[in-house]
Amino acid sequence: MAKGLWEKHKIKRTEQVLDAADALFRDQGYEGTKIEEIAELASVASATVYNYFKNKPNLLMEIALRHIRAAVPERREFIANMPDDPMEGIIEFEKLLADQAVRHLTPECWRVVMSAQFVDPEGVAHRTARRLDLIIRRQYSAILADYQRKGRIRADVDISVLCDILIGIGNAALAKLVTSPAMQVETMREIGLPHLRLVLSGVTTAPTEAMI
């Protein structure tokens, strides 16, 4: 088989495996799904799944990364039309992140994703979790830097530090959702709001007359 054709075949089989795993994780749970079931639904050998992903956590992390990439256009559209008020804009962005999180992965899957850095700090799952974090960090940095250029965030504020704080608030809210079976996403959206408002009230500025 020519190299180009082999690569296309591998990509196709990889997508089949990811689609199958995604569907089974949703239908019967992450823990309740076996690699062999994923392989059967994807019409590939179990050895193929292990060869591509090594284990189930790596497979889940790739699904998470795929969903995040698919969510990027929606985020870009939002970022391109941010509200003038940074308080409103950042709160609405957090709501968008929350909606996308539960739209694409179950709470059980998010527990695995969020625990990757602790369970296997040197593994593929941990590195993928860092990539997921980096995507959000870049988007947040762009939002905050734009507000700062417009004078809506104080010039003396370190955007990197503020980014860390805001992402931490969002992650804490998501952690409460995935560890509380009875919690709904609407509640998760509300959990972080007092913290966001408190932080942002200390770093944002009122619009100048030129902006009004």
Q: 3-state DSSP call for residue 155?
A: coil
Phi, psi (deg, nearest 5) at residue 14: -60, -45
Burial class (CB in 10 A: 0-12, 13-18, 19+), 67: middle
Mean pLDDT over 7-30 rounds to 91
pLDDT at 98 over 50: yes
For residue 150, what pLDDT is reported? 94
In the chain, the amino acid numbered 116 is A
Q: Residue 210 — pLDDT band, cuts 50, 70, 90? A: very low
Residue carrying the six token digits 């999180």: 101
Which residue would you say has higher pLDDT here, 28 or 179? 28
Mean pLDDT over 36-52 rounds to 94
Which residue would you say has higher pLDDT here, 43 or 192? 43
Q: Residue 130 — pLDDT band, cuts 50, 70, 90? A: confident
Separation of alpha carbons 75 and 101, rounded Å:
12
